[in-house]
Copies of this chain bind each other. A is one copy, B any other.
């Protein structure tokens, strides 16, 4: 997924979708190979998260707010990745245990 500046160049043969979304009162033209509903979902999650952080910290400017939103999302991503890897190890361990029978 890229922003509007990537829209003019077709890097692959995959069909690209261009969707204009509103995030925190600003319009963004998002280009990606995903469906428009996926792009809208992603934008609405970012918008919600920015409003949630802004409500707790009303003095933050948009730029800092967006950076702290990104920080929060990366934090959630790493937690999920750890959980994913834990599940993968558990699954592989169960397979090993089964093959030992």
Contacts and interface: CB of A to CB of B under 8 A. Distances in A.
A26 B74 CA distance: 18
Contact of A74 (B46, B57, B84): B46
Contacts of A41: 78
B56 A6 contact: yes
Given A62-B63, A63-B62, A69 B72 contact: no
B77 A80 contact: yes
B87 A91 contact: yes
Contact of A68 (B3, B61, B72, B94): B3
A20 interface: no
Contacts of A75: 1, 32, 34, 38, 42
Contacts of A57: 2-3, 5-6
Q: Which 3 pairs show the lowest CB-CB distances between chains A and B?
A: A66-B66, A63-B63, A70-B70
